[in-house]
Structure 1
Amino acid sequence: MNTISYFEIQSSDPNRDKAFYGSLFGWKFVKEEFVPIEYYRIETNNMYGGLLKRPTQIPPAEYGTNAFTCSIEVSSFDETAALILKLGGRVALPKFAIPGRCWQGYFIDLDNNTFGIFEVDEQAK
């Protein structure tokens, strides 16, 4: 209760973005037939999510984020950041320390969605 228990990613190109997130985090995508739009259940180790065909136009980048932004815990910030860039993602906000907690940063996926990654590190300064 009172924690993120489900997330959704809107995509103008679901096949491209399934490949991006599958390669990046190892997520699996299962097509859901019971909904009236193109929708995939995202299977992760410990969260529930979905990827859906974007029902509207992509917001212009200069308009900022119009949604909740989720951050994914990773074992290595630097390795994951390098993989994001290799897969075509972009940096939204470079790596920074949350002192005594973690390294955090934000990226933009192939459909201009913002997402974060963080590496727990109590020595972060």
Structure 2
Amino acid sequence: MNTIGYFEIQSSNPARDAKFYESVFGWKFMKDDFIPIEYYRIETNSINGGLLKRPATVPTQSSGTNAFVCSIQVDNFDKTAEVIIENGGQIALPKFAIPTRCWQGYFVDLDNNTFGIFEVDDNAQ
């Protein structure tokens, strides 16, 4: 637990960028329609991830890193979320179910970096 178990790439044009990564790395992309944003699951030969519609404007190159978002697998989503908030973190996207897979949510750290946490739960709905 508490290891990076999933990565995500934010994109202003997910369909276009899915084709890019598929062409470059041979990753497989599957569109998920049950997530509240445009989202593609990514299957690689090792760690899996997702490609999602960027929730804000694309940062300019001079404004710093435009990076992937990592999601950390945790034992208990709710307890971990409480600890994040108690330590000054903020909720970026509240907890939601990825049906039959997990509970997922996104937070912002003290330096405005976005990260995700997820709790595996085959019964998530």
Cα distance, 1:43 vs. partner?
A: 0.7
Equivalent pairs counted in the alignment come to 70
Tell whether the 8 Å contact from 2:9 to 2:69 is kept in structure 1 after alignment.
no
Instruction: Give per-residue Cα distances to partners, 1:51-89, cap 9 Å, x unaligned.
Output: 00111100110011155678xxxxxxxxxxxxxxxxxxx
- Structure 1 unaligned runs (5+)? 71-125
Asked if 1:45 is matched to 2:45, the reply is: yes
TM-score by length of structure 2 reads 0.50
Q: 1:68 to 1:11 in 2, by over 3 A?
A: closer
Q: 1:64 to 1:7 in 2, by over 3 A?
A: same
Cα distance, 1:27 vs. partner?
A: 0.4
After TM superposition, which residue ranges in structure 1, 4 or more long, deviate above 4 angstroms? Answer: 66-70
- Give the secondary-structure state (helix, strand or coil) at the position aligned to 2:46: coil
Distance 1:36 1:68 in 2: 19
Superposed CA RMSD in Å reads 2.0
Asked if 1:23 is matched to 2:14, the reply is: no
Cα distance, 1:19 vs. partner?
A: 1.1
Q: Which amino acid aligns with 2:14?
A: P
Distance 1:56 1:69 in 2: 14
Distance 1:50 1:44 in 2: 10
Question: Percent same amino acid at aligned positions?
Answer: 69
- Give the secondary-structure state (helix, strand or coil) at the position aligned to 1:55: coil
Deviates more, 1:60-69 or 1:27-36: 60-69
Cα distance, 1:4 vs. partner?
A: 2.6
- For residue 123 of structure 1, what is the aligned residue in structure 2? none
Instruction: Give per-residue Cα distances to partners, 1:71-113, cap 9 Å, x unaligned.
Output: xxxxxxxxxxxxxxxxxxxxxxxxxxxxxxxxxxxxxxxxxxx
